[in-house]
Each structure stands twice: as C-alpha cells, then as structure tokens.
Amino acid sequence: MVKVFLHRSILTLISSLLLTTSLWAQETSSTRLIGNTMSLQNCKVFYMDSGGKGIPVVFLHGGYGNSKVWKYQIPAFTKAGYRFVAIDYRSPCSTNPMQGSDNASALINEVTSRLALPKFHLVGTASGGVTALKYALANRDKLRSIIISHSIGNVEDSEYSEINMRIRPAAFNQIPLEIRELGPSYRAANPEGVKNWLSLVNESRDTAPPTKDNPNGMGSKPGEHGNDMGAGRNAPDAVTWSNLDSFKLPILMMTGDADLYTPPSVMRIFTSHVKRAESAIIPESGHSSFWENPDIFNRTVLAFISKY
C-alpha cells in the first residue's frame, strides 16, 4: 500500500508540474491587452483595461514587477465575463512619486473614478495586498470583495511584527530574489518561467537601484516589500487588528504552501482577526502563485468572487 501511495503521489506531482509548465507555453494573444497611460497631475500611470460591461476586477501587483505580471489572469477573468483592470499603482511620477499606501490609495481612487468603474472586486498581492487593505478600509462602499494574496498586511501590531522579523532576519535579504519570491517546485520545473519573471522585475519602473544599505534594490528590507504603514493607528485606514475586527467586506486570504514571506501559519493568524475571511493555500507555490500556479489561483479567486 505504501508503494502504491508513493507512486501515485509522485505521478500527481509530475502531472501538476507538467500542467504548470504547459501554462507558461501558452500565449494569451486572444485576450492580450494593450496598456494605456493616464495623466494624473504630474504623474502618468500605466494601466490595463479589457473594457466591457462585466463586473470589474482590479489587480494590484506586488513590490516587484508591474501590471504585466497578471498576464495569466487576463484570459481566465475575461473569459468568465469580468472586466479586467490592472493598475501600476506604484508608478514613479516626475515631481510627486506615488509611493506609500496613502498616495497609492488616492491614485487607485482617481484611476477607477476616471474609468467610471461600478463596485468592483479588488485583488492585491504582496505589497499590493497592503495597499488593497488600506484602500478597502477607507473605501468599503466602492468594493464587492477583496482578495489578498501572499501579503503579511503590515498590521500595526508589535507581536505580529516580531513574528515576521523571525521569519525574515537580516540574512534573508541576501538570498537571490527569485529564490525568495518563487517556490522550489516552480523553479525546478520551469526555468524559462523564472527567466520571464525576472525580465518583468528588471523592467519594472519602480525598482530602485541597489545601495550599500539596500543591496537588492527596492523592497529588499524585511517587511512587505517596503513599509507602507500610513498615518498611524488612529487613522480609519490603518491596518490594525481592531479595524480588521470590524471589517465587514468579504475577504479571501491566499498564500502558497512554500511562501517564505507569508507561510500558512502567518496567514492563519491574520484570518483569525477577520470575521468574514476565507482562506486558501495554493499548492507548490512560493510568494507568487498567480504566476507559479495560475490555473489554481484563477479558479480559487473566480469561485470566491462569483458569490459576491
């Protein structure tokens, strides 16, 4: 019995990896979107919008990369009838850089207002999850639901911060970026996908150059790709346990089983403080399941938002 079980487990693993690899080989030309630029005061913001009358789903990328990292979500969500929108919310501006959650929330408000979006679902990954949480806390009436993937949330709580510092000590930042961000199963099965992911990271306009204190560039310090704490614990959009306890929007928390930033145990701590929270652990995924295992990521999110 043991031999049969192991044999089937190995076959399942190989099948899963081959499925993932085949997904990277597929082009999304039938639903490929051409990006647009929106001028906001002294800032030009890149965004992608499929248009149409479907319920909008707005995507916020993490601290590394840009809106192009959602390329494997475009066909799945447009095929399901949703309006796909992705915003480069961390776009640097000529005289007023839109960095930090407060400015990012204002930018998201401006872009979604100009696009005349009705109530929408908001998806944020990593530091985009921090921004999504802060936006949701301040703009609950504009959202149908919120999906937070691979994000510690930057909750303003000393015990929670200590947990995250234990997970990512100073030496963590010396690990190559692709090892920190992508899980071992994906790196083993798909070197070309790793190469493509790194290419998007390198072209990202908000990636800062390495410095002596920050050798890996923007977002390499412990925290969630940078510190977006905002205006303080008394602010209505502050990510605190008390604010989250009163959070009534449907929320889905997701992470990968091999996420070095947000392991399942950390996600469980977070969801225990949110009354309407659902959770999902994406198998064989590190910190970027939307890229590493998009089929399961897409099905999980689509199943959740279909209820709201």
Domain ranges, ordered by start, for the chain: 33-305
Q: For residue 211, what pLDDT is reported?
A: 35
Is the torsion defined by CA of 215, 216, 222, 228 positive or negative? Answer: positive
Tens of pLDDT, residue by residue over 4-19, are 333 333 334 434 444 4
Give the β-pairing of 43-49 and 83-87: antiparallel
Helices 2-25 and 191-203 pack at an angle, to 10 degrees, of: 40
pLDDT of residue 232: 53
pLDDT confidence of 74, banded at 50, 70, 90? Answer: very high
Higher-pLDDT residue of 191, 210: 191
Q: Is-contact 146 122, C-beta < 8 A?
A: yes
The pLDDT of residue 53 is above 90:
yes
Over 90: is that where the pLDDT of 284 sits? yes
User: Is the pLDDT at 3 greater than 60, yes or no?
Assistant: no
Structural tokens at position 79 = 């095929």
Q: Read off the pLDDT band of 236 (50, 70, 90).
A: low
pLDDT for residue 32: 60
Alpha carbon 224 to chain centroid, angstroms: 11
CB atoms within 10 A of CB 27: 9
Q: Do 282 and 300 contact (CB within 8 A), yes or no?
A: yes
The full DSSP string for the chain is: -HHHHHHHHHHHHHHHHHHHHHHHH---GGG----EEEEETTEEEEEEE--SSSPEEEEE--SSS-GGGGTTTHHHHHHTT-EEEEE-TT---SSS---SHHHHHHHHHHHHHHTT--SEEEEEETHHHHHHHHHHHH-GGGEEEEEEES--TT-S-HHHHHHHHHHS-GGGGGS-HHHHHS-HHHHHH-HHHHHHHHHHHHH-TTPPPP-SS-TT-TT-SSSSSS---TT-TTSTT---HHHHHT--S-EEEEEETT-SSS-HHHHHHHHTT-TTEEEEEETT--S-HHHHSHHHHHHHHHHHHTT-
Check: pTM over 0.95? Answer yes or no. no
The predicted pLDDT at position 6 comes to 34
Mean pLDDT of the chain: 80
According to the model, what pLDDT value does residue 39 have?
Answer: 85
Cβ density class 52-89: b for 16+ within 10 Å, e for less: eeebbbbbbbbbbbbbbbbbbbbbbbbebebbbbbbbb
Would you place residue 20 in the very low, low, confident or very high pLDDT band (cuts 50, 70, 90)? very low
CATH fold, domain 33-305, is: Rossmann fold (3.40.50)
- What average pLDDT does the segment 107-115 reach? 93
Query: Taking 80 as the threshold, does the pLDDT of residue 264 lie above it?
Result: yes
